[in-house]
């Protein structure tokens, strides 16, 4: 069973956050070799992990991290606007209804079959979060291989500028429209997969 923590509507427990930051260190630093700060030798936490960030975290019933994403408001400092603005042909998008998806993270301990299921749950949760909270567009920076996978989900994407070489790969910037049509587009892409309502903690609390 999978639980979803949405920190915009509930406060995640310390255990969940610790588990997520440790998982991010294993993925982004140990596996992908990104040049990021490490806290206490085991957590990946940066300047954007602050009170303005929202997190969508999928965990098992013991609150161990399975997958997560960080959402940053584009009206405040964020990755595209403040670190990679050159990936945009024009000014980086900044508006209250536009948020940036960052640190899309699937736990390294997941087996290949589980990864796909978790990825689909997380993408769906990201789209549902936008529809529920009035976000109409996401932006994001992605390495080109991952960018191709983001396109394959089926939602409407546009490039924000030409990609640029970065490290050993090439980075590109995208914007993703979220509209009432998005669930159907993700469905056609084989990705739409809402977590059953009764499995989320908020619903269980409401039923208790």
Partner 1 sequence: MAGFDIASGFVRLARHVQDVGDLVEAISTTCASMHIQYFALSHHVDFRREGNSAIRIHNYPPSWERWFDDHALGRLDPIHRASHLANTGFAWTNLPLMMRLTPEDQVVLDHAHRIGIGEGYTVPANVPGEMLGSCSFAVEPGRTFPEDLQLACEVIGAFAFEAARRLTQARAMSFTQVPILTDRQRDCVLWAARGKTDWEIAVILGISHETVIQHLKHARERYGVQKRAMLAVRALFDGAISFSDILKR
Minimum CB distance to partner 1, residue 14 (Å): 29
- The interface region with partner 1, picked from 37-45, 66-74, 105-113, 123-131 by CB under 8 A, is 105-113
Task: Give whichever of 71 and 185 is closer to partner 1, judged by the CB atom.
Answer: 185
Give CA–CA dist 27/39, Å, rounded. Answer: 15
Please check whether residue 72 is in contact with residue 59, taking contact to mean a CB–CB distance below 8 angstroms. Answer: no
Residue 47 near partner 1 by CB under 8 A: no
Give CA–CA dist 18/14, Å, rounded. Answer: 6
Minimum CB distance to partner 1, residue 154 (Å): 7
Please check whether residue 182 is in contact with residue 116, taking contact to mean a CB–CB distance below 8 angstroms. Answer: no
Q: Which residues of 193-202 are buried (b: 16+ CB within 10 A; e: fewer)?
A: bebeeeebbe
Site size toward partner 1, by CB under 8 A: 32
Binding residue for partner 1, selected from 77, 85, 97, 189, defined by CB under 8 A: 189
Q: Which long-range contacts (CB under 8 A, 24 or more apart) does 88-94 make?
A: 88/160, 88/161, 88/173, 89/160, 89/161, 89/162, 90/160, 90/161, 92/139, 92/160, 92/173, 93/137, 93/139, 93/160, 93/175
Task: Give whichever of 55 and 155 is closer to partner 1, judged by the CB atom.
Answer: 155
Task: Give whichever of 24 and 129 is closer to partner 1, judged by the CB atom.
Answer: 24
Give CA–CA dist 140/80, Å, rounded. Answer: 7
Residue 26 near partner 1 by CB under 8 A: no
Binding residue for partner 1, selected from 32, 190, 196, 197, defined by CB under 8 A: 190
Residue 44 near partner 1 by CB under 8 A: no
Task: Give whichever of 52 and 108 is closer to partner 1, judged by the CB atom.
Answer: 108
Interacting residues toward partner 1 by CB under 8 A: 31, 89, 108, 111-113, 115-116, 143-145, 147-149, 151-152, 154, 156, 158-159, 161-165, 168-170, 172, 188-190
């Amino acid at each position: 069973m999978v639980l979803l923590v949405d920190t915009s509507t509930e406060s995640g427990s310390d255990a969940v956050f610790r588990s997520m930051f440790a998982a991010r260190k294993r993925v982004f630093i140990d596996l992908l070799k990104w040049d990021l700060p490490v806290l206490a030798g085991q957590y990946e936490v940066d300047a954007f992990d602050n009170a303005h960030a929202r997190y969508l975290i999928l965990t098992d019933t013991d609150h161990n991290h399975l997958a997560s994403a960080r959402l940053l408001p584009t009206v405040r400092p964020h990755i595209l606007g403040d670190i990679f603005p050159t990936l945009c042909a024009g000014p980086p998008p900044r508006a209250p209804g536009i948020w940036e998806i960052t640190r899309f993270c699937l736990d390294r301990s997941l087996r290949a079959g589980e990864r796909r299921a978790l990825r689909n749950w997380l993408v769906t949760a990201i789209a549902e979060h936008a529809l529920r909270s009035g976000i109409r567009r996401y932006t994001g920076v992605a390495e080109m291989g991952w960018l191709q996978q983001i396109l394959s989900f089926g939602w409407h994407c546009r490039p924000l500028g030409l990609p640029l070489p970065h490290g050993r790969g090439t980075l590109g910037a995208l914007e993703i429209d979220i509209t009432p049509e998005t669930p159907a587009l993700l469905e056609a892409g084989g990705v739409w997969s809402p977590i059953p309502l009764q499995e989320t903690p908020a619903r269980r609390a409401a039923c208790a």
